[in-house]
Each structure stands twice: as structure tokens, then as C-alpha cells.
Amino acid sequence: MRCPHCGAPDSQVKDSRPAEDGAAIRRRRVCGECGQRFTTFERVQLRELTVVKRSGRRVPFDRDKLHRSIAVALRKRPVDPDRIETIVSSIVRQLESGGEAEVTAEAIGLLVMDVLKILDDVAYVRFASVYRNFREAKDFEQLLGELSAGEPAPKRGG
């Protein structure tokens, strides 16, 4: 593990314990070169996931991209950042334990929408507008109508 302070390639683990979310290991490290301490979080990866895009292109699953997408939808909303991490960990666990090495971008989007619909209406609408590629105001009106009627999130065709 490279030191974030000086870039030295080696560091020594001083302490390891489960992270608060239980899905990671928190390690306190000290750099052998500069003596600075830093923390890393290591996650167990159950399987390598590949995301199949709508275009048919296949790309490696990127946990950070999932986190960023959810964080953008929840920006300036009253949701604790630790809650975002918990949501991401839950979705990743669902995907990894699903038994398939390939997962569609659509399936990931639907999982995120299901969580956001329960958690925060504004974040749900923000995410849905990008996920469903809204082009007109009537797209928002339709989604808001579904939301106020308490209807389940409609599945995208394909």
C-alpha cells in the first residue's frame, strides 16, 4: 500500500479491525519512509463483476462509480454520508451474491431506484431523470404522478 503522504511503496499495518459497516476491514498503517500514519479500508470481493451496458459493451464493475451516482442524487439532501456507504455496500453485496458474473446496467439502475424511492423522493427523481434519460418536462410530470400515486417504479423495457 503506497503512502498517501510521500508515495513510498511499503507501509506497516499497526492495527486491523472490522469497519463500522461490517463489509470492510479498517487498517491503521504507518509509512516506513516518512513515519506518517494513515487509514485504509479493504473490502472482500466475492466475484469479479462485469457490467453489460445498453449498447452491449462490457466494462468492469466500478464500486466508486456507483457511490458517486448515488451521492450525486443525494447531494444537499438530509442523508448522512455513512448511509450512502451502507446503501452502496448493500447493492454490491446483492450483485455479488446474485450468482452471475455479468450484470446489466439496467439491473443496477433499478436497484438504486428502488432504494432511493424509499429513502428520498428528490434523490429518486434526480436519479430517475438521468437513468431514464428524460428529455422533456412531461417525463418529469409522469414520474411525479407515479410517485404521488404510490405506484411501484416502472421497469424499463429491454
pLDDT per residue as tens digits for the range 106-156: 889 889 988 998 888 888 888 887 776 667 777 777 777 777 766 555 444
pLDDT at 143: 73
Residue 59 pLDDT more than 90? yes
pTM score of the predicted model: 0.61
Work out the average pLDDT over 84-106. Answer: 86
pLDDT band at 157 (very low <50, low <70, confident <90, very high): very low
Q: What gap in Å lies between CA 101 and CA 61, rounded to an integer?
A: 10
- Residue 28 β-bridge partners: 15, 39
pLDDT at 147: 73
Q: What gap in Å lies between CA 154 and CA 110, rounded to an integer?
A: 9
Residue extents of the structural domains in the chain:
11-43, 50-148
pLDDT at 35: 92
Do 16 and 25 contact (CB within 8 A), yes or no?
Answer: yes
pLDDT at 21: 62
